[in-house]
Structures are given as structure tokens and as C-alpha cells.
Amino acid sequence: MNHQLKAEVLKIRSTRTTMGLLLGLIALALLFTILTCTLSPTSQVITEQDQVGLLSFGSIAGVFAALAGIMLVTSEYRFGTIRPTFLFNPSRRRLFGSKIAAGALAGLVFGIIGEGLVFGIGIIILKARGIPITMSAGNITVLIAGAIVGTALWGILGVGLGAVVPNQVGAVISLLAWGFVVENLVFGFLPSIGRFLPVHAQDSMMGLTTQHLLPGDGGVAVLVVWTVALASIGLTMLKGRDVN
Amino acid sequence: MAYVVQSDSLTKKYGSILAVDDLSFKIESGTITGFLGPNGAGKTTTLRMLLGLANPTSGHATIFDKPYESLETPALRVGAVLEATDFHPGRSGRDHLRTLSQAVGLPDARVDEVLGVVELQSAAKRRVKGYSLGMRQRLGLAAALLGNPDLLVLDEPANGLDPEGVRWLRDFLRDFASGGRTVLISSHVLAEVAQTVDQVLIINHGRLVTESSLDDLTARVGGSVRVRSPQLTQLAEALQREGISSTQSNDHALLALGTTSEQVGDICFAAGVAIHELVTEGSSLEEVFLDLTSGEAS
């Protein structure tokens, strides 16, 4: 691990913010999984796609990973630590690269915990209810890999968004408004465009086959393109921006 | 002559506002330089350009003959504190330093060492939000010292410090510079740094007003020295022979105008005049500063 990446990981570990996000993710994943897996009528959780859909809630970890990524950049501006950070590592490209790597690592952890909880608890509850697991090994692999890799990419997207919008409140509102409002509106009214947006691209990655979604590999490609694009814009803005 | 810092026609514009205007200066190795000017004079903007945090509109600056960002691991050569508040309030002081030391591969032992230097060991594991302003200033200084630098750049480090803190800072800087290292310290109050610095750079409205040693500055623009002596008549005559005018301030003392304490001391010694007290009038320094900066403002 290079020096700056080590420092970035320490920044994540040394405040309570990331732990708070992780606890929030765990609570939400447990609540949703227990309620839906317990209360859904058997007829609605019996097919392969029903079960993939039910157990794909782990993708919510992407929101938390993106928030952690946003914090990696915006906290530095909010509290002024960006000044010593730049003084100790004036190569903004290298610094941003380390933040991207730290965001991806945080995303991986969030993805493993989020999808791990949803899948593990969900399967236990379904089996306890006597519902047969109809998902194939392939479905399960795509579901879990798509959730974890997608969440890691959301961690990077968060870092990119934080670099584009260094105001913490602005960046968080932008993320939530995009993820929960804008994308759903666009997908609802213009699905041919909406399926190319990042949240729905991750749905594709996890093997969901909802109408209008891209195929899985298309979802991967689209989310990677979004990630690279936002990170590139973020790096350009970070490099050009004076620190006041 | 070895110059540690060089600014060459440094200029910074924010829209139509000219924050720094064609600013050129050099700082020699082993000096403590006061970078002075009223609030809004362009000191902080200049320091940010020196340290690669802001891009100059034109001109350039070097530290150890290179732009800051081109130095190999600059934190090992330059330590800087630009704000006393650059900490995550939820992080402990020690962890704040570790996030910086790890970025340049320094061991945790160095963190503990600098915490000792700034006398913060007992608070090291407390979160920074519980620190007083003085403790934050010292934590910032600890961060600047991590790489054992040859140059310290401090922006208004005495802001908000109590008199004891100011004295601690003064002693610290003297000690730091005594080993031949260099300090650049900004302030908007000349008196705050007058007892610490060897030379001054005074700017106003982004332009260099004067660059000189503190003594030269005092002498050049009419500083005064109060001398208490039982031989006032002989003293006044000796001063007059050297072209220095004086006024008697009371029965036992006179005020030598436009000179320095060193010069008056030498004259007294040569003339065999006993002196009981020799004081550079502190207020005159501030007047010098105000004269220079208000003159530019008009």
C-alpha cells in the first residue's frame, strides 16, 4: 500500500463518520431484509427473478459507499485539512488516485457487508419459511459480484462527485437527489435513456431483468464509463482549483 | 548568497481584484523574516502561491530553487501552517498528525516526538474539538515540524494566543532558527513579531512597500531610542556630532530620533557617557508600520 493510500485509509478509520455510515447500512439492510423476506407472500418470492430482486437490496450499500467517497474529499474542504493534505502531497493527481483507491476499498467493504447481510439473512428466512431457492449458482454469483463490484464503483463515484462539488452538503444532496429522484423519474418516463444511468446500470450488473434494463455486461460497461467520467472531471477540477 | 524563498513578479487576480501585484522578494537562509501588512494586503494569497495551493496569474515563486510542487517530498524541507483550524474536529490530535506522517512515510515515533516538542503529549489522544485555540496552534506547528524542515512558513501564528502562548512561540522560533534554519512568519501586527524577526517584508494592496532589516527600518523612517543617563548634556552633544537629533523627555532621559539602539549604544560607549537605560520605543515601530501601510493606502 503506498504511503498516501495508507494515510487515506487512516482518515476513514480515525473518525466516527464512516463507522456511522456502516452502522446505518447494517441497520437498513437488516430491517429491509427481515421485513420483506418475512412478510412477502410466498407467491411473490418463488421465481428466480423474484428472489434475485428481493435479495438485490444489498445494492443500497452503493449509496453509503458513495457517501463515504464524498466524505473523503469534502471533509477535507469542510474542515480545512485539504491545506496540510496538499502541502504533504502536492501532486494532486497522485493524491486523487489514492483517494479513488481508498473510496474503492471502502466501497468493497460496504458491498461485502451490505450484500452479505441481505443475501445471508434473506436466504435463512426464505429457507425457514420452507420456500425453495430457485436461483441458480450463476444468478447468485452475478448478484453478489454485481453488488460488491458496483458498490466499489459507487465509492469511486463518490470521490469523483466530491471533487466536482467540494461543498459537503451540496455533494450529499446531489447524490441523494440523483439516486432517489432524478434517475427514477428519467427511467420512468424515458427508459431508453434511464437504463444508461448509473443506478439502473448497477441493477443490470446484479442480474435484474426488469423491462428496459441493459444486459449485465452492458450494465458493467455503463457504470464503469460513469465512474471514469466523473473521476476524470473531478481530477481536472481538483487540479485547477485554488485552495483558499 | 543562498536564497531559500524567491518570489519573482508574483501576481494574483481574482476577477477584477488584484490581490497580489508584481511582488518580488528574496529570503536568505538562516533568517527570520516578518511578512507584514494589514488585513487584506495579500499576505495569505502570497503564501498560498509560494506553497502551490493557489496558481499565480503571472510570475512565479520558488522554494529551495524549485516550485514547491516540484520539490521531492516537500514536507521534509518545508513546514507550513496556514490556518489554526485545519483539523477534523472528530479526529484526535495524534491521528491528525499520523494522517500526515503516513503520507510521507514517516514513522509514528516521529509523531510522538513532535507532540513532545509542542508540549501536547497529554492531549494527543483527545479529539481536536476539545482543544483550545492555543493547543490547535501548537498542533498545527507540530504538523509543520513532522518532516524536520529547513524552512517554516507560518501565517499569523500568534492570532488568538494569550501572552504566554506568544512568548512560547517566540522562544520556539528563536530556537528553531538558531540552528541556521529559516522562518517566514506573517502578521498584521508588527509589534507581535518585532521581538522575533531579523528582517521585514511589508506589503500593502498586494505590493511590496519595503524590504529591510528591522533596525534599518526603524532608523530609516524615524524610530526613536529613549536613553536614561546622568550625563544628558554630553549625550546630546555626542549624538549631535553624529547627526542624530534628540529631545529631552524628562530630567533624566532623552529621546534620540531616527536611530537604533545599537547606534546609540556605540555612540555612548565612544563618548564615555554612562547609560542607565536604553530602550527602543516600541510604539515607534508600530507607527512606522502604520505610516508605511497607510501611506500606500491613500
Chain B residues touching residue A88 (CB < 8 angstroms): 74-75, 100, 103-104
The answer to whether the CB atoms of B103 and A89 lie below 8 A apart is yes
CA distance B229 to B253: 6
Sequence letter at residue B137: Q
Q: Where are the domains of chain A?
A: 2-239
Size of interface A-B (CB pairs under 8 A): 86
**Distance of alpha carbon A169 from the chain centroid:** 18
* C-alpha to C-alpha distance for B9 and A178, rounded to whole angstroms: 46
Closest to A59 measured CA to CA, from A18, A19, A118: A118
Q: How far is CA A154 from each of CA A1, B90, B141, B237, rounded to the nearest angstrom?
A: 21, 25, 37, 83
Q: Do B100 and A7 touch (CB under 8 A)?
A: yes
Report which of B6, B39, B23, B1 is spatially closest to residue B184, judged by C-alpha positions: B6
Q: With an 8 Å Cβ cutoff, are A85 and B83 in contact?
A: no
Q: Are B99 and A14 in contact (CB under 8 A)?
A: yes
Angle at A202 between CA A200 and CA A205, to 5 degrees: 120
Out of A81, A85, A90, whose CB is closest to B52?
Answer: A90
CB contact under 8 A, A17 and B90: yes
pLDDT digits (tens, 9 = 90+) for A30-82: 999 999 999 999 999 999 999 999 999 999 999 999 999 999 999 999 999 99
Reduced to 3 states, what is the DSSP secondary structure of residue B105?
A: coil
Which amino acid, residue A118?
V
The C-alpha cell of B14 is what? 481574482
- State whether B83 and A242 contact (CB < 8 Å): no
Extract the runs of DSSP E, i.e. beta strands, from chain B: 3-14, 17-28, 32-36, 58-63, 78-81, 151-155, 182-187, 199-204, 207-213, 224-228, 246-248, 253-257, 277-280
Whether the CB of B125 is below 8 Å from some CB of chain A: the reply is no
Within 8 A of B105 by CB-CB distance, chain A residues are 3
| Residue in B with minimal Cα distance to A98 | B103
Is there a contact between A159 and A100 (Cβ–Cβ < 8 Å)?
yes
pLDDT digits over B208-264, tens only? 988 988 877 766 655 678 899 999 999 999 999 988 888 887 778 888 887 888 889
Q: Which residues have a Cβ under 8 Å from the Cβ of B220 and sit 6 or more positions away? A: B212
**Distances from the Cα of B242 to the Cα of B220, B256, B259, angstroms:** 15, 11, 11
Could you report the average pLDDT of every consecutive run of 10 residues in chain B (298 residues)?
A: 89 93 94 90 95 95 95 94 90 96 96 94 95 91 95 89 84 87 90 84 91 76 80 91 83 83 90 90 66 59
pTM of the complete model: 0.85
In this predicted structure, the answer to whether residue A208 has a pLDDT above a threshold of 80 is yes
Q: Does B91 touch chain A (CB under 8 A)?
A: yes
* DSSP structural state of residue A43: G
